[in-house]
Chain A
């Protein structure tokens, strides 16, 4: 704000919003062509945003949702393991070994899934783009 409502022509700072790239060259200067390097920087940044490799940024880690996800996954893995074991037993008459072994495998699968999911969220949060 200029006191008195006068236009301050001697101001060094640009008159437009800082986001418009006016930082490098003031408005009073002779208009320069936008810096090519700056443009290519912005371009590559936008490109990286476009085809970011998956897994770099997951959904927001909501604590309760994450806990619930892990729980359902572990329970479901146990269930699938038990079901498969029971089916194998019924098919081949190997009761109770199929059920026992596959139940254990299911438990391991559940823990593995939970571990993997937890690791996904607890990775480095450095320059993670703010999603939502």
Chain B
């Protein structure tokens, strides 16, 4: 892909490249510490610092930082309550952790020269796959064989069941894929678009500085949009996790 853009040393997709910072080989498995891993560590450290520092005061009237932390908590708490109900309380830590990790990965990825962890589908798929397996195990543990009535919606004529069950199963298997693809594709597309327009600024601005203004304005607009997308995708991921949890807990009660 980079070959197509002749002359340009940096293609818009170079930002997603994985570098081995610390090559490591564990019994033939490439377990190198990469820039992706480094940024995951940075994300986790930032989240931990943010939450522990902002909540260290524990003021009754929150300051700016504490308000931010409380807003994040409240957002996810109400999402869990609204989508899963009271039984969802036990899963709040899971959803909150996922939300904060994705949110900070998205936001830190917006810093120039940083690496966006969530733009790689393998990272998002690892999270989505974990949720998928976890929710399925939870549903089976909670409802035993009754869990499989999830695939046979109630109130369906009996002659439609053989057709509907495969459809429902495919729909169920779709979840981890759509969940992971949505997040990764959003990040990938947004960051590629940013870099493409940033390239326009240089090439068009080289001809005449006036021509560089329009793409530069576009970069600013896209960047603003990306800030919204970064938040929204983290929230969507959290809400969908809640919905899947709700399905596993309540089966067809909604």
Q: Let me know if B174 and A113 touch, CB within 8 A.
A: yes
Interface size class of B (residues with CB under 8 A): 20 to 34
Q: Let me know if B254 and A72 touch, CB within 8 A.
A: no
- 1/0 per residue B56-74: CB within 8 Å of A? 0000000000000000000
Q: Let me know if A53 and B166 touch, CB within 8 A.
A: no
- 1/0 per residue B81-121: CB within 8 Å of A? 11111100000000000000000000000000000000000
* Segment from A10-18, A20-28, A73-81 that makes contact with B: A73-81
Interface size class of A (residues with CB under 8 A): 20 to 34
Q: Let me know if A58 and B85 touch, CB within 8 A.
A: no
> Is residue B253 within 8 Å, beta carbon to beta carbon, of the partner chain?
yes
The A contact surface, by secondary structure, is: helix
Chain B nearest Cβ from A44, distance in angstroms: 15
* Segment from A1-9, A35-43, A89-97, A101-109 that makes contact with B: A101-109
Interface residues of A (CB under 8 A from B): 50-59, 62, 65, 68-69, 72-73, 75-77, 79-81, 84, 102, 105-106, 108-110, 112-113, 131-132
By Cβ-Cβ distance, the 8 closest A-B pairs, closest first, are A76-B178, A55-B254, A76-B177, A109-B170, A109-B171, A51-B86, A77-B174, A54-B246
Known: A54-B85, A72-B181, A76-B178. 9 other contacts (CB 8 A): A53-B85, A55-B246, A57-B82, A58-B83, A84-B170, A105-B170, A106-B170, A109-B168, A131-B78
